[in-house]
Amino acid sequence: MKKSVLILGGAGFVGFNLLKTLAEKNIYKLTLADNFSRGKMDDSLSLIVEKYNIKVIKADFTIPSSFDLLDNEYDQLYMLASVVGVNNTLERPHEVIRINTALTYNTLEWTKKAKIKKILYTSTSECYAGTIEAFGYKVPTPEEIPLCIEDIAHPRFTYAVTKMLAESGFLNYSKKVGFECTIVRYHNAFGPRMGFKHVIPHLVQRFLSNESPFKIYGHDQTRSFSFISDSVDGTILAMESEKSNGEIYHIGSSEEISIEELIKETGRLMNYNGKYENAPTYPGSVSRRCPDIAKAETQLGFKPKVNWKKGLKKTVRWYEEFYKTGVESFEKGFELPNN
């Protein structure tokens, strides 16, 4: 008998790729729930839904009554729904707080009456970004690091605050309500179709506009990047393993690169021959971030397979083709840091 699986936020970047991977395994009865805030279901998603007979529920889950549209029992719930993106935190921090908090609270309250065997909540490395800056914790960074932000009033950290709340909420509700729970913290998952408010789509857009000299915002900052197929594999491993119950895992790559290296590799892929110029970074951006993934490797058997350069090439080509079509994106793209 197939496991019944609900993906809340299944039309987003990670959700779409997770849905596709689970569907291809043909051992799950899948339900996709989303508000489709990015617009209507696109052709790629429609094909998967039709091919694998996936149930689709369109609703705003910041409204409690929307949960009445769902079934009462699921073997697994992937909780991915949230508002994300640096631009969103800076432009509408109040909405980031409202939406993400409502999604978390409504889902948790729904678990009191629904029968869910296991929930996997998707969190972020943003939760401990301030710890590295303020206290100098080691990089690559393990899961047991204290969660911290630098400035409670800064809008940049509203996303992280909502994710911290949700981590605590799901772990503690699970003990009282009676479902198993696992947290995964993503570290810069990227790939085709990731949206337009992220660093790589921004770079492609700027290179296509022939920016010269090309400004490298935060050139000496470092990050690790995880291609979406690796992020999805780690997510499924965390859900399926009994060892993961009650645990938190960093899902990403332990290869740390500079923003300058990322930008110049993107420029190389796009045949840029102009000059580069270092420039200030985005407000609230941290200097280093890279996960220690030893726990996921030893307990889950997780191992990244796609090198960041290979993944970057696939991603850049996808966005090049999209921008050249002239089709208007569903989100605003690049914004200058001082804007």
323 inside domain: no
Structure tokens at 283: 């407000």
168 inside domain: yes
Residue whose token pair is 């987003």:
12
pLDDT at residue 42, as a whole number: 85
327 inside domain: no
Structure tokens at 200: 């790589």
- Counted residue by residue, the chain has a size of 339
Whole-structure pTM value = 0.94
40 inside domain: yes
DSSP, res 28: E
Measured CA to CA, the distance from residue 325 to residue 60 in angstroms comes to 31
59 inside domain: yes
pLDDT band at 326; cut points 50, 70, 90: confident
Give the tens place of pLDDT for each residue, 155-185. 999 999 999 999 999 999 999 999 999 999 9
Give the tens place of pLDDT for each residue, 37-91. 876 678 899 999 999 999 999 999 999 999 999 999 999 999 999 998 888 888 9
pLDDT at residue 120, as a whole number: 99
Strands (E), the chain: 3-8, 28-34, 55-58, 73-79, 115-124, 180-186, 189-190, 214-217, 222-223, 226-227, 248-251, 257-258, 276-279
Residue whose token pair is 């999209």:
322
Check if 186 is active-site.
no
- The mean pLDDT value of the chain amounts to 94
Task: Provide CB contacts within 8 A for 47, sequence distance 6+.
Answer: none
Say if CB 219 and CB 259 are below 8 A apart: yes
Rg (CA), the chain: 19
Measured CA to CA, the distance from residue 223 to residue 203 in angstroms comes to 15
pLDDT at residue 327, as a whole number: 76
Say if CB 87 and CB 127 are below 8 A apart: no
H or E element in which residue 14 lies: helix 13-25
Decide if pLDDT at 337 tops 60. Answer: no
The number of domains in the chain is 1
Q: Which of 159, 186, 249, 323 is catalytic?
A: 159
264 inside domain: no
pLDDT band at 336; cut points 50, 70, 90: low
Nearest to 291, CA basis, from 220, 191, 187: 187
| Dihedral class, residue 228 (left if φ above 0, else alpha if ψ from -120 to 50, else beta) | alpha
Axis-axis angle for helices 259-269, 199-208 (nearest 10): 50
CATH of the domain at 175: 3.40.50.720
Task: Provide CB contacts within 8 A for 335, sequence distance 6+.
Answer: 87
Say if CB 249 and CB 300 are below 8 A apart: yes
What domain range includes position 139? Answer: 3-191+225-253+291-306
79 inside domain: yes
28 inside domain: yes
